[in-house]
Amino acid sequence: MRAVAALAALTMLCGCVSTVDRGCLRPGPATLTGKVFDFTGYGPPGYGETPEKDQTSLYLALALEQQICVSGVPVSVVELTPPLPIVPEGVLGQPVRLTGRLALVKASVDRPPATLSGAQNANVAK
């Protein structure tokens, strides 16, 4: 079984819940639908600024069904961050609905600009 966390938000048009500000979502509680995938990204010391010296790590992300706007920033992928809920085996690549806390982050070269953390559920979307 894989652990995965999530927080982000989709627009009301997508049928997801979040706080909307002038057509854009604001950081905070959100429910998102998309497909979970894993990717390798750069870690310390330079988080992609010095690839030859940086460590690499495996991360989880959610590719959203539809691009969203978070505080003026276009977002189509959110990184899933701890605390991580349990996601059933075989969910990678399948549609899921995740609820958690959406945040914008200063992304490194190879990482998404937003995170979804502290997901309360990880249900296969119907």
Looking at residue 90, what is its pLDDT?
74
Task: Give mean pLDDT in consecutive 10-residue pieces for the chain, a chain of 126 residues.
Answer: 29 40 80 88 83 87 91 91 68 86 80 82 61
pLDDT value, residue 53: 92
Conformational region of residue 27, where left means phi above 0, alpha means psi within -120 to 50, and beta covers everything else: beta
CB burial of residue 42 (10 Å; 0-12, 13-18, 19+): buried
Q: 57 has which bridge partners?
A: 41
Question: Could you tell me the two tokens for 30?
Answer: 């959100």
Any idea which residue has 């979804």 for tokens? 116
